[in-house]
């Protein structure tokens, strides 16, 4: 996987400054009798690392009223050479500065040799964590033994990427999803009943959700379930919802699941427990990928499905970004 997830930003980015303007070179004053100066010869193309030959030195005694009449012709040739190289130096400086300025103003993908091929990642907006209520610690602070997320759970949901169509069915009322809408995610009625009893027995406090469909037909659903303490959430996930090899309760469309071996371990987010799975062959019209996250007092379920094959990279990107919001 090419790992460029869009990281959660907590500080504003600083725009790049334009390069220092090029200073004009002071004109050279002629001390010899005025005559027409021929334009400089066309410089030979030599690339960025071309080195100009050294300019000839002119002795002060060779120019001016005291110059000997016999040396006037030679002095004029020297002066013309000086003027030619001065003009050439100014031209090279101006051209070089304009090229450097142009590159700093261009996008990375517009500069030959620096262009990056589209690797399938989605274009998410700038993502920031919501502020904590005054005096409330973060979910992993030493003083927060229960691992409670004090921020509004609805604001901890990952926003949809650019161009995606929102899933109106997951909006809920005031952003809170009814329990029955979450349970409808599971395929079998027996699974819905069992998971429903688990939520009741463990006193689920809130369920928030968001979903969208991208242009390539990938349907994403994210559910956040908040409990009283981190211990309750962690025990429920480990004992009831997942195992090492597969999920315990299949979501709609996924006949059988297996551990997602394509998900790189280096993409692990600190303090977040992740269980990622993919639907195993043979699968139907769509393939399903899903991941359970344990983050303090909250369990997250991320589900993606797509006709044919569900792509690995946007799934990994979505899971990592949602993990960072909860971390």
Phi and psi of 80, rounded to 5°?
-65, -40
Residues in CB range of 59: below 8 A, 6 or more apart: none
pLDDT for 168? 95
Query: What is the layout of strands, in order, in the sheet containing 257-259?
Result: 165-166, 206-213, 219-226, 298-307, 286-295, 273-279, 257-259
When the pLDDT of each residue in the chain is averaged and rounded to a whole number, the result is: 77
Question: Could you read off the pLDDT of 197-210 as tens digits, one per residue?
Answer: 999 999 999 999 99
Which burial class, exposed, middle or buried, applies to 294 when counting CB atoms under 10 A from its CB (0-12, 13-18, 19+)? buried
Domains of the chain: 1-119 (no CATH), 153-326 (3.40.1000)
Could you tell me which residues are beta bridge partners of residue 290?
277, 303
Place of tokens 């006949």: 255
Q: Quote the tokens at residue 278.
A: 């993919």
pLDDT over 90 (residue 303): yes
In this prediction, residue 283 carries a pLDDT of: 85
Tokens of 58: 């002119």
Calculate the dihedral angle through the C-alpha atoms of 261, 267, 268, 274, rounding to the nearest 10 degrees.
-40
The confidence score (pLDDT) of residue 288 equals: 97
Q: What is the mean pLDDT of residues 214-224?
A: 98
| Predicted TM-score (pTM) of this structure | 0.66
The token duo for 207 is 């369920």
pLDDT tens-digit map of 60-100: 334 344 444 445 555 556 556 655 655 555 544 444 443 33
Strand intervals (E) in the chain: 165-166, 206-213, 219-226, 257-259, 273-279, 286-295, 298-307
- Residue 270's pLDDT is 94
Q: What is the pLDDT of residue 120?
A: 86
Q: What region, left, alpha or beta, does residue 91 occupy, with left being phi > 0 and alpha being psi -120 to 50 degrees?
A: alpha
């Amino acid at each position: 996987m090419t790992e460029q997830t869009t990281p959660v930003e907590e500080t504003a980015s600083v725009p790049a400054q334009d390069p220092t303007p090029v200073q004009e070179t002071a004109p050279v004053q002629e001390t010899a009798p005025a005559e027409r100066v021929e334009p400089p010869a066309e410089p030979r193309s030599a690339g960025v690392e071309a080195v100009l030959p050294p300019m000839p030195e002119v002795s002060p005694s060779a120019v001016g009223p005291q110059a000997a009449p016999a040396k006037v012709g030679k002095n004029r040739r020297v002066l013309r050479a000086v003027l030619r190289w001065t003009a050439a130096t100014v031209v090279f400086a101006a051209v070089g500065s304009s090229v450097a300025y142009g590159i700093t103003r261009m996008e990375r993908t517009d500069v030959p040799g620096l262009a990056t091929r589209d690797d399938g990642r989605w274009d998410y907006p700038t993502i920031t964590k919501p502020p904590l209520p005054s005096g409330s610690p973060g979910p992993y602070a030493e003083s927060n033994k229960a691992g409670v997320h004090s921020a509004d759970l609805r604001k901890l949901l990952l926003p949809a990427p650019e161009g995606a169509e929102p899933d109106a069915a997951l909006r809920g009322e005031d952003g809170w999803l009814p329990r029955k809408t979450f349970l409808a995610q599971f395929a079998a009625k027996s699974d819905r009943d069992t998971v429903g009893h688990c939520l009741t027995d463990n006193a689920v406090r809130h369920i928030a959700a968001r979903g969208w469909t991208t242009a390539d037909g990938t349907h994403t659903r994210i559910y956040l379930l908040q409990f009283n303490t981190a211990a309750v959430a962690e025990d429920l996930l480990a004992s009831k919802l997942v195992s090492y090899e597969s999920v315990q309760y299949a979501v709609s469309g996924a006949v059988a699941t297996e551990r997602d071996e394509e998900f790189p371990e280096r993409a692990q987010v600190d303090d977040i427990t992740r269980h990622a799975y993919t639907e195993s062959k043979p699968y139907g019209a769509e393939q399903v990928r899903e991941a359970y996250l344990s983050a303090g007092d909250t369990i997250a379920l991320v589900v993606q499905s797509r006709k044919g094959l569900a792509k690995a990279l946007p799934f990994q990107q979505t899971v990592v970004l949602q993990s960072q919001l909860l971390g």
